[in-house]
Each structure stands twice: as structure tokens, then as C-alpha cells.
Amino acid sequence: MQKVVGAVVSVARRNVVLSYVYWHFMEVPVGILKGWEAFLAFGLHYFSVRLLTKTLFSPFRRYLSVKKVPGFDAWELFQSLIFNGFSRCIGFVIRLCIVVVGLIFELVILFAGALMFFIWFILPILAVIMVMKGLTIF
Amino acid sequence: MFIDIKKTAQYPAVRLYLSNRILFSGIALLLILASAVSVALFATNVLSATDKKNFLYLCFGLDILVVYFYVFFRTRLRNAGKVLWGKDSFEGENIADYLSFDAALPFYFAEKLAANNKVDSRTFFAYCIQTNPFYSTYVLERLGIDFATTKKNFSPFFKQHPTTDACFEDTERIMKAALERASVHGHKYIEISDVMYSFIMKSTFIKESLIRLGVRTEDVDAVITWKELEHLHKQQRGEFWKKENLLRKPGVGVSLAFGFTPRLDQHSQNLTERVKYMKLNIVGHRQEINEMGRVLARMGKNNILLVGEPGGGRKTLLYGLIRDITEGRSEPELQYKRVVLLNMGSLLSGARTSGDITQQIQTVFMEAQYAGNVIIVIDNFHHYVSSGAQEATANITPIIMPYLKSPNFQLIGICDNTGYRRYVEPNKDLFSQFEEVKVAETTPEETFLILQNVLPMYERMYHMVVTIGALREVISLSELYMPNVAFPEKAINLLSEICVFASDSHIRHILPMMVADYIAKKVQAPVGEMKEAERDRLVHLETFLHQRVIGQEEAISVISDAMRRARTGVGRKKKPIGTFLFLGPTGVGKTETAKALAESYFGSEDRIVRFDMSEYSEATALDILIGSEAGNNPGHLATRVKENPFSVVLFDEIEKAHRTVHDLFLQVLDEGYCTDAFGQKISFLSSIIIATSNAGAIQLRDMVKQNLDRTKIKSLIIDVVIKEGIFRPEFLNRFDATVVFDILTKENIVKITDLMFKRLAKRLEDKGYFFSYTKEVVEKLSDIGFDPVFGGRAIARAMQEKIEGKIALDILSGKYKPGDTVEIRAQDFA
């Protein structure tokens, strides 16, 4: 099978028309897919979606009230609970915002990639139609 | 294997390109014009709205088609050749199948002119240059050859040397060599670089011509590989859509997962941020970078001491680690880590009391610990810690210790070797919290690659081309003449200095000769290829030395021979310029010879570093010479030789030095360097070492009295000094030459006296007096001063007492005024 593919590729390489077909329907679409995947990975990385999801409920900027005096103090415990609760709430809201922006970006890339993939296949026909339509001016 | 371009997949692409390039250029031009016209039409009302829309369709559709076919040509047709990757055997294959488009193009032209399907290698080479002018210019200029002249010289050369069978055989050999190089270098196709390299290395006529122009064959490979790497880096950086390039951008949300560090940010520099904008190609040090990554990823003992000489690449190594972290190549534990360089000066500047210092530092360290992603770097860490006995600038050890033990606090301390040994290593508690990473100085080969990386920046900045020969000269001369600075810094500094100098002098091409000239001016010592005057002086060195040293024909001849060997590079390279042991009684001209040598080689008799070795006879002598770590004293030898590396180092009365000093000399004389108490290298590679000794002087006198043969005397004296245990044979053998100085005869003394009178005349002339003396005066003084035991010294003493003293008194008493002639007659002294 490998030999047959090799032979086909070899013939396609020597013939400009076959070479073109191989390029348009195989080589470039694979390249577009790779680029698409790279941009999707970039979105997740740039908006730190994984890290922020993992630390979604962590305190904001690691601000936590720590116990200062030994022994049980109900008032101090209550203060700590309130402070830490707020810290986690603020952290959650801010991180969530960034994660949502990141996910929107991913959606945009997903859509743009699919569109580009589709347009690529019809690009030569599209260009020819545009030229034909344009020629009506004469 | 065979070569046939017509049977390749590139052939239609080359033909398409050649037959349609004018057509394509024309269409592109037309489209640009059409776009301009459409803008104009849209601005006016010449066309109706529908026509405007249709015109837009036309322009846009044509634009798409042209770009589409251009991309097809660039990405597909140009890469139509067979791929070399994974191929081992090429038996029965067409080599031309593996040519890249750029390499196939000149072959296509050359084959068109071929007779009986045989391609003339010279035609092929001419087309290689013609079809790839930018590449050829780059390679030839880097090799120090003028591209325009080379191109012009082709036709006359071809006319003088008609085509022979060898030219056709060459083509096949060259193509096979190109295929081999491409396979070895892991190229996808046989590139134009592989073809050019094979031409230069394998083609008889090209190789010969280049060697005649002074090109070294190893430089050809270096230049071509250099260009290939440059092209590869440029290509990799340009492909922004690739995953590795996109992921280089740091994430915007990372900081939200970690703590605030306002105080730390105020007193530090974010290296992670800085490295983002750096063009960084790390050469070597991969092992150290990986080790740093492993240590920092651990849970305990995860602090690092980066130990090495300044300029040896410690910070570059740090940047390499940061690059690894940001690009996700390091351990997963280090992902999102932020490396900051703490500015200790700024942190401590506001603190007035030790309490203030403690508070400032604690605040910053606490922030770093809470943040959870900070790695602090402290440069010159040894300045801020103390080992108890030694006090440093500020002692932060007690403050830092609890933090160092915490797994959430990470520190990288940068130390030099001396500071590390003096302050950090002795403090066991502190030392145990760190993992030490030694940064070795880069090798000359690694430095060469580093210079290749930084050179384009200098060339762009100063608009010049540095040849590969000049680059090699920068490395070899900085290694030899800048022993106190580490590689790669010294080479980079020298390169930068030369670029500035060349720019100021409006020089466009920097050649090896210029580098040598620049260093020679800087160190005031002869460097590089010899100039006419220097060559003349070396050839006639005996005459020059005899202008100052009377007699001692054999000694002068031995020294002159050794110096000529050293300067022409015939002698060993990794040794001092010359090493001599002068044996002989006092006053025979040993020191005078050393001064004459200093004047002849380094341009001044003041370029002498003199040690009276009788001062180094105790057991502590070695400590005094190379320093002592315990006493924190730098050694005499270390200090003075480092300050004056380009000089004659004179060790007077070497026999009186302690035995341990003799042992130290064994290494110095053999390797050209020794190491001081603080681990610093003291280099003697740019020095002439002269040791003098009176050992065997009494026996020498007896032998002279017995009228023994000159050569016999020398071997007998050497036997004496060995038998009496003054010097060991291995010590004597280390010198380039052991020179036995003759006892001065009466004739020698007369000549020395005459020389002294001439020098006195010169000194008086400088003060504005003329000096007149007769031959009788010289003879009388040499009679008075002649003393076989003290030699020239006795004459010098007589000169001082009888002549100089009298003249000084006469001048003071007003007998002579400036402009008068000071006259000395034989009857004036007795």
C-alpha cells in the first residue's frame, strides 16, 4: 500500500496538474488544520483557561486571613471566615470573566477556522466567478 | 547514480518560472495599476454604482488568482524535488531529483550549454553565482573576497584555462559531494549551500583560486553552515502561525492565580518579561540549564548558587532557563514561574539602621513566598552573606535562612569563584541550603558560535562586514591577550571595540589583519602578522641587543633564536613567549639583557616586572607570591603579573627562592599559567620569563682561568648546579634556553665604559649641556673600574664616583651653565 502511495505521489510530483490537485486538496488543507489547532491552543494558553479553571475558587491574589494569636477566638474566626469568603468570591468573579473571554475567543477561532477551511476549497472558483462578474463591465 | 535535470520534477517548475516570470511580473504590475485606477474611479462619478461593484469584483478576483498561483508556485512547485530525509542509498537514482529549486536553476542553465549532455563545472559555478547573487555575495564577503572582482575575473580565467575532461568529471564529483553534505546536515533537499560548499571544496580550479586568495578551507564550511543556521532561525521566527511561536506569548490571566508583590516589584526587574523581547540563541550550557530546572522543580533544597567567572555566561544561562520555562520546555512544576532580579542596592538604600534593613528584606521575601510563583535572583550574592570571619557589604544570612528552608521560597544566587570560596562555602549552614551549579567558561569553539549570533546586530548597527577570519582572530587574540576576563565576554567586548574603531575609521570590511593591529596598539606588543620594521628588527635582533649588551655573543644568539621562534609561531603556542635562565656572576649583563629584550619586544625597558627572589626564601614564600585565602591577601605575583601581562617577568637570584616556589615555576614554565590562592588563573602567555642566578659563578671563574672550551664550560656549570642541589634537572629542562653568561674581559669593560659615557652624554644633552671626553678618559676609567669579580657593576660605581659626581658638583657650583660644554680630561680624576 505504502509503495502504491509513493508511486502516486511520485507521478503527481512530476505532473504540474496532478501536483496542483494534490496541493489544493491535500497539502494546504492539512496546513490549515494545523494552523487552526495552533490558534485554538494559543487561545487556551493566552487566557490561561486551564490554570484559572483549576484555581477558580482560590482566594483573590492569594489573600487569606491567617491566625495570629494562639487559642480559640470566635470573633477572629468569624472575621477570617468573612474575609476569606470575600477573597474567594472576588477571585472567582475575576477569573470567571477571563475564562469566559477566553472561551469566546475559542469560539471565534473555531468559526473562523471552519470558514477558512471551507473558503479554501472554493477559492479558485470564487475568484473565477468574481472575475467573470467583473468582466461584465466591458 | 546519474545526473539528468530533464527527468526531474523540478524541471517543469524551473521552465514555468523562467518562461513566465516576465508575464507574472507584468500581471502583478497591472493589478497594482488597476487598484490605483479603481481608487480613482471610486472617488469620481465616472462609473455607475453597478459598474463600480463589478470593477471591484474584477480587481479583487484577479488579485486572489495571482496570489493563489504565487502561493502554489512558492509552496508546491518550488518544493517539487524528492525529499532526502530517511534515505540511505541512492543507487541507480538521479541525483538531480533531490535538488532544491535554487540549486536546480543554475544546473538547468549549465545543462543548456552542455556538449554531449556533459555539464562543465565552471559554467555551473558561474550560474550558481549569477542566479543566487545575495547568497554568493554573503559567502564570498564573509570569506574576505570581493564579489564584484570575482565575478569580473571569471571570463578572463575561462579564456586562459580552456575546458578539459576534468571540468566534466568535476561536475559529477561535486554533485555527489553535495548530496553527501545535504544528507549529513539533515537537509530536505540538496540546497544551493551544499552545492557551493562542494564546489569550493572539490572543484580543483575553484579551491586553488580561493587558497591563493588566503581562504582557509575550514572557514568555507563554517561560513556556509553559519548562513544556513541564520536562514533557519529567520524562517522559524517568521512562521508566526506555528504552535511554538504562538505559545511564546505569555498568558494574560497567569498573574491572577498568584499573589501580589508590590514591594518586590518596586525593587526588582522582571527577567521573565525581559527575556520575552530578547533575541536569544543559547550556545552550550544545556546540561547546566537542565540541572537548574531539575533543582528548582524539587520540593526541598531548591535554591541554586550559580558559580562562575564574570563574563562567563552566568546570566545567559539564567535567561536560557527562563526561556525554557516560558516556552514550556522545562519541568511542569516550573510552569508560570516568574524570575525576578532583586536590586539589592535599591532595597538597602533607604535603610538607615540594621532594623530597617531587616524589615525591608523581610517584606520583600515574604511577598515572594506568598506569591507562590516567584524565583528571586541575587547578583553578587557573596557580597551579602558572611562566613563569620570575613565581613561582606551587608550580612543578610540570618534573615534569609528561614526563607531558604521553605519550599515556597526560591532563590538563585550568582557568585564569582573567589566570593564563593571566601564567603559562601565556609558558611556550612547557608551552603547546605543551596545546590551549586558551576558555570564553566565557554570554549573557543562555543564562543565562535556565540559571536556568530551577536555579529549581525553589530554589523547592522555599524554598517560593516566582519570576515570569518577576523572573527577567528578576535577569539584567538582575546584568549591570548585578555587572560583576566572570561569567554565569551572578552571576545564580545573586543569585537564591539573593533566595530566602533572601524566605524570611526570608515572601514567597511574588517579583516584579520585589522584585529591584530588593534590588539597590538591596545597592549603595545607585537601581534599578528609581522610588519616590515618588526621583521627587520627580529632578523637583526642580535645587533639590536648588542647596542646595549657588550660581549655575551652566545647568550644573545640563543635568546634571539628563541624570540624568532616564538614570534613566527614555529614554537609551541600555549607557553610564555620565551623562558630563559641566565647563569653567571654579578655584573656581566644579565639584567641589562632582560631590559634590552623588554625594549626590543615590548617597546620600552620599563616593561619589566622584577622580583628579588631572595625575599621569597622562607616557607611562607608561596603564600606571599600567590596569595593566601586565610589571610585574605592577594599574592605579589598574582597582582603584578595581572596588572602587566605584556612584559618581561624577571626573577632575580632564583636560586635563593624556597623549593616550593621552584615547584610553582614548573607549571608556569610548562603551561604558561598558575592558579592563585583564590582559584584565579595567572597567565604568563603574553610574558617573557627570565630567571637569573649567580649559582656556579665561582666555578665559572675557575674554568675560565683554566681556559676550558666554551661549550664544555656550559655543561660543566649545569652539572655543578644540579650536583649541588641548587636546581633540579626538571626545573632546568623547563626553560627554552639556559644561558651561561661569560665573565667580562678587559676589552668588554672598555666597550661598556664607552657605552656608559655615551649614555651620560645623552643625559647631559637632555639637560642642555654638551659633553666632551677623550678615548684616554674611557681607558683610564675602565682601568680604575676593572674588577673581575663585580664586572660591569664596578665600572658603574667608578663612573658615579669619579665622573658623574664631579660633573654634578661643577654644575651646582655654577662652572657650567646650560649651553656650555662639560669637558672631562684624564687628569681630572684618579
A83-123: pLDDT as tens digits: 999 999 999 999 999 999 999 999 999 999 999 999 999 99
In a domain, B756, yes or no: yes
Inside any domain, residue B248: no
- Confirm whether B249 is domain-assigned: no
> Are B59 and B187 found together in one domain?
yes
The C-alpha of B370 sits at a distance from chain A's nearest C-alpha, in angstroms, of: 7
Q: Please provide residue B83's backbone torsions phi and psi, each rounded to the nearest 5 degrees.
A: -90, 135
CA angle B659, B663, B664 (to 5 degrees): 115
Residue at A107 is within a domain: yes
B67, B215: one domain: yes
What's the CA gap between A114 and B585, in Å, rounded?
97
Any domain includes A71: yes
Contact (CB, 8 A) for B110 and B120: yes
Mean pLDDT of B685-704: 86
Q: Are residues B560 and B461 in the same domain?
A: no
Minimum distance, in Å, between the CA of residue A110 and any CA atom of chain B: 15
**Residue B284 to residue B261: CA distance in whole angstroms:** 34
Domain boundary residue among B714, B740, B766? B740
Q: Which of B681, B712, B740 is the last residue of a domain?
A: B740
Residue B571 has pLDDT above 60, yes or no: no
Please give the mean pLDDT across all residues of chain B: 86
A66 assigned to some structural domain: yes
Q: Are residues B551 and B505 in the same domain?
A: no
Residues B706-723 have a mean pLDDT of 82
In a domain, A18, yes or no: no
How far does the CA of residue A114 sit from the closest CA of chain B (Å)?
Answer: 16
Q: Which of B7, B71, B76 to mutate to test the interface with A (most CBs of A within 10 A)?
A: B76
The C-alpha angle with vertex B436 and arms to B492 and B393, in degrees rounded to 5, equals 75
pLDDT exceeds 80 at position B573: no
Decide if B190 contacts B99 (C-beta within 8 A).
Answer: yes
CATH number at residue B815: 1.10.8.60
Residue A13 lies in a domain: no
Q: Which domain holds residue B507?
A: 444-525
Please report residues of A whose CB lies closer than 8 A to that of B14: none
Residue of B nearest to A100 (CA): B253
The answer to the question of residue A23 being in a domain is no
The answer on B423 and B288 residing in a single domain is yes
How near does any CA of chain A get to the CA of B269, in Å? Answer: 20
Residue carrying C-alpha cell 546519474: B2
Per-residue model confidence as pLDDT tens digits over B27-49: 778 878 877 877 777 777 777 88
Q: Are residues B635 and B672 in the same domain?
A: yes
Identify the residue with better confidence: B111 or B303.
Answer: B303
Is residue B67 domain-shared with residue B216, that is, in the same domain? Answer: yes
A6 touches chain B (CB under 8 A): no
Q: Is the pLDDT score of B792 beyond 60?
A: yes
Per-residue pLDDT, averaged over B84-104, amounts to: 89
Contact between B559 and B595 (Cβ < 8 Å): no
B53-69 tens-digit pLDDT: 888 888 888 889 988 98
- Considering the domain boundaries, does residue A6 fall inside one? no
Do B518 and B610 belong together in one domain?
A: no
Shared-domain flag, residues B486 and B546 = no
Residues B426 and B575 occupy one common structural domain: no
| Within a domain: A111 | yes
Q: Which amino acid is at B190?
A: I
- B256–A61 CB contact, under 8 Å: yes
Do B694 and B753 sit in the same domain of this protein? Answer: no
Residue B135 lies in a domain: yes
Q: What percent of chain B has pLDDT over 70?
A: 95
Residues B666 and B806 in one domain: no
CA closest to B49 among chain A residues: A137
CB spacing of B54 vs A127 below 8 angstroms: no
Averaged pLDDT, A48-68:
87
Which residues 72-101 of A are in CB contact (within 8 Å) with B? Answer: 91, 94-95, 98-99
**Three cell numbers at B241?**
502561525
Q: Is the pLDDT of residue B98 over 60?
A: yes
* Residue B390 reports pLDDT greater than 70: no
Q: Which domain holds residue A106?
A: 35-120
Count the domains in chain B: 5
Spatial distance between the Cα atoms of B101 and B76, rounded to a whole number of angstroms:
11
Nearest chain A Cα to B56, which residue?
A: A134
Count of the separate structural domains present in chain A:
1
Q: Return the CATH number at B537.
A: 3.40.50.300
Residue from B27, B35, B58 to probe the interface with A (highest A Cβ count within 10 Å): B58
Question: In the listed set B484, B500, B525, which residue is the last one of a domain according to the structure?
Answer: B525
Q: Which residues are paired to B410 by β-bridges?
A: B375
Taking CB atoms and an 8 Å limit, are B257 and A39 in contact across chains? no
Please tell me if residue A68 touches chain B, with a CB cutoff of 8 Å: no
Q: Which of A120-134, B272-286, B349-363, B380-394 has the lowest mean pLDDT?
A: B380-394
